[in-house]
Chain A
Amino acid sequence: MTELNVAQALNAALDEALAAPEVVVLGEDVGRTGGVFRITDGLQERHGSDRVIDTPVAESGIIGAAFGMAVAGLRPVAELQFMGFSYPAVDQVISHVGRIRNRSQHRFTAPMVIRIPYGAGIGAAEHHMESAEAIYAHTPGIKVVAVSNPRDAKGLLLAAIDDPDPVIFLEPIRIYRAVKGEVPDEPYRVPLGVAAIEREGTDVTMIAYGAMMREVRAAADELAGVGISAEVIDLRTLDPIDGEAIVDSVRATGRAVVVQEAHRTAGLAAEIIAQIQEKALYSLLAPVERVTGWDTVVPLRRAEHHYVPTVARITAAARRTMEG
């Protein structure tokens, strides 16, 4: 085991993946500078500039080119610098990446990973703090992953690169260096589509993913202090959702709080709550709470704290379920 932060774990995963000749990394500034968040640091030096490729500044072009590479037998890992810069590539993702297997009835496929740093909390400029995972989770033919700790970051990225289908891989910006943990030295994978019960509890199930896991963990600690036992689920894969893990837990606790940083309307929390309603309604002891960002543009640095869900908002939501 080695202690790494999320950024180092991702770098280690890419380094390991690049040992396979069909894996290539491409994106803006991923080579010479090692990426805006240094996730690809040192990879071009070690694996060559034809395998770790600095592209022109063109997100649609990056994803379209990666798509072509995947169709022709490579395993590209494309980086888009920020979620807010992924929008020019949405046409490629929806119209081509997510459809080629179906359009060609398995003849052509696009096994590729699109890494996207996302989320607020570092006081970045406008367009650098988006959480648009719902757009991608809503899109057929792709999978969506969000990481919350170093061990999962490495294991999920390697599993995503192995996956025969395209994966959108979301990396929360504010935990790149803030969250550290033990990472196995031997090769391992964390399977897609399987949530993690991070902490067992009996009173309320708290469901989250990505950067919000840090706040949810802190909230669970606080709740324990006042005698409320929270079960904490890290979704890890946002599409397909591990509905079974959610439903089993909510059936046992009878209460649920779903947390997402993204805007409220038509977000992932709404889907999770729909699944709870379909399969665990009669186990519920209180209305399901959701703690989300608002349907506002993400506020800039000085007012960002009004938007991103806080530990206080999450504990308050859990307490409301206990009053029900």
Chain B
Amino acid sequence: MSLEPLHILGPDGVLVADPPVPMDRTRELYAQMVTARGYDRKASAMQRQGRLATYAQFEGQEACQIGAVAPLRPADWLVATYRDAAAMWAHGYPWLNLVLGRTGDERGGRPPEGVRVLPPSITVGGHMIHAVGIAWAEQIKATDAVALTLFGDGATSEGDFHEAMNFAGVYRIPTVFVCQNNGWAISMPRERQTASDTIAQKADAYGMPGMLVDGNDLLAVVAATAEAVDRARRGDGPTLIEALTYRMGPHTTTDDARRYRHDDDVAEWHPRDPLERVRRYLEAAGRWDAAWQSELEEAAAEAVEDAVATAEGMPAFTSDEIFAAMYETPTMALLEQQRLAHRDESR
């Protein structure tokens, strides 16, 4: 079975098909990608300074993430993973929360009220079915909200992927599954995750459309997800989108990717950079200049620095606070343990 990936904007910044959004919107999405990359690089640097805990970089996947959530409305839900900070931010999850989470603070998981983004899933694969359940609830409540879930190629090996896809297929749940196939699951290449030619073709077995898309092509990702979101919203069921991309960095800051892949492999992907092609496209249309670029990059770095400073300025949880969000009302058992914690700490 072969599927051809959807391309709209070539690596040279020249359109090969009609764009799904007008130039102004492309400019906004480009600004989001630049901001996201600024966050990613700054966060990686701050992790090396010991100011953040383990960090999972997403460099190279900005088009997948910004493009995937671009068609969502605020009432739509996003259920994503530890590598999806760009998508989460673009759908309303503040940098401060993302940074707080990376400093090792539970308050990072509490976005402002009304932001329909779950805290990032840390275990691989268990979260896709949550998007199905959420979308199912919206269907039962007869709203037109949909749920979009992001996951990697590795997650498709988990049994949970099958269960989520199967439930969504059987009940035509308004879910959009977006697999960012970035080529690697820690040290294992995509070929060791599945023997099928593509991940997108797996959709066929679940009775839903599968789409293969150039994941480094912002406009292609926007076009594919917009189609899938519309399909879900009008009641025509779920879609699986496989976005072909590349993890330019290691799995996380704890990992040395040179142990399992050559720099040459990574170098092949540099010319396909998702930001550069949009920049060229905008420049050719007279909608990009270096001053704007620096402005965006500086603002992003500043936003991250501010978020880290704010996070670091927040006092760490006291022993009382670790007990405070286990139940709506703490149980007698927890209240007693809280007293024991006080007693032991006073020694």
Decide if the interface of chain B is mainly helix, strand, loop or mixed. Answer: helix
Cβ-based interface call for A265 (8 A): no
B118 within 8 A of A: yes
User: Nearest Cβ distance between residue A31 and chain B, in whole angstroms?
Assistant: 12
When the two chains form their complex, are residues A73 and B141 in contact, meaning their CB atoms are under 8 A apart? Answer: yes
Is B109 touching A61 in the complex (CB atoms < 8 A)? no
When each residue 77-108 of chain B gets 1 if its CB lies under 8 Å from chain A and 0 otherwise, what string results?
10100000000000000000000000000110
| A108 at the binding interface (Cβ < 8 Å) | yes
Interface size on B, residues (CB 8 A): 43
Please name all residues of chain B whose beta carbon is closer than 8 Å to the beta carbon of A92 when the two chains form the complex.
126, 129
B-side contacts of A72, CB under 8 Å: 77, 133-134, 137-138, 141
The verdict on A91 contacting B126 (CB below 8 Å), with A61-B167, A101-B326 known, is yes
Contact present for A68 and B106 (CB under 8 Å) = no
Q: Give the complex CA separation of A154 and B132 in angstroms.
A: 30
Residue of A nearest to B106 (CB): A105
Partner of B170, one of A56, A103, A243: A56
CB distance from B347 to the nearest CB of A (A): 18
How many inter-chain contacts with C-beta < 8 Å in the A-B complex? 136
Nearest residue, chain A, Cβ from B147: A68
B166 within 8 A of A: yes
Chain B's nearest CB lies how many Å from the CB of A97?
Answer: 10
Given A61-B167, A64-B163, A65-B167, CB of A193 within 8 Å of CB of B130: no
Q: How many residues of A contact B (CB 8 A)?
A: 46
- CB-CB under 8 A from B147, the residues of chain A are 68
The reply to whether A71 and B118 form a contact with Cβ atoms under 8 Å apart is yes
- Whether B136 pairs with A141 at a CB distance below 8 angstroms is no
Distance, CA A51 to CA B142, complexed state (A)? 12
Flag whether A165 is at the interface (Cβ < 8 A).
yes
B119 and A104 form a contact (CB under 8 A): yes
Q: Mark A30-66, 1 if CB is under 8 A from B, else 0.
A: 0000000000000000000011010110101100111
Given that A61-B129, A102-B325 are known contacts, is A107 also in contact with B134, CB under 8 Å in the complex? no
**Is A66's CB under 8 angstroms from B133's CB?**
yes
Residues of B within 8 A of A67 (CB): 129-130, 133
Q: Are A165 and B327 in contact (CB under 8 A)?
A: yes
Residues of B within 8 Å of A240, CB to CB, are: 331-334
By a CB distance below 8 angstroms, the chain A residues around B110 are 104-107
Tell me if A68 and B131 are in contact (CB < 8 A).
yes
CB distance from A74 to the nearest CB of B (A): 5
Assess the B166–A95 pair: CB atoms within 8 A.
Answer: no
Q: Is the CB of B333 within 8 A of A60?
A: no
B229 within 8 A of A: no
Task: Please tell me which one of the listed residues A64, A91, A103, A164 contacts residue B164 in the complex, with CB atoms under 8 A apart.
Answer: A64
Q: Which residues of B contact A96 (CB under 8 A)?
A: 126-127, 130
Contact with A along B156-178 (1 / 0, CB 8 A): 00011001101100110000000
Please pick, from A50, A56, A58, the residue contacting B140 in the complex, using a CB distance under 8 A.
Answer: A50
A64 and B126 within 8 A (CB):
yes
Q: Which residues of B contact A53 (CB under 8 A)?
A: 171
Are A104 and B167 in contact, CB atoms less than 8 angstroms apart? no
Separation of A69 and B171 alpha carbons in the complex (Å): 14
Residues 6-34 (chain B) with a chain A CB within 8 angstroms: none
A-B contact pairs, 16 of them (CB 8 A): A50-B140, A58-B166, A58-B167, A67-B130, A68-B136, A68-B147, A69-B133, A72-B134, A72-B137, A74-B141, A96-B130, A102-B106, A105-B107, A108-B119, A141-B327, A239-B333
4 shortest A-B CB distances, which residue pairs?
A: A68-B133, A64-B129, A61-B163, A72-B137
> Using a CB–CB distance below 8 Å, which chain B residues touch chain A?
77, 79, 106-107, 109-111, 113, 118-119, 123, 126-127, 129-138, 140-141, 147, 159-160, 163-164, 166-167, 170-171, 325-328, 331-334, 336
6 further A-B contacts with Cβ under 8 Å, apart from A64-B163, A95-B123, are: A53-B171, A65-B129, A92-B126, A101-B326, A165-B328, A244-B332
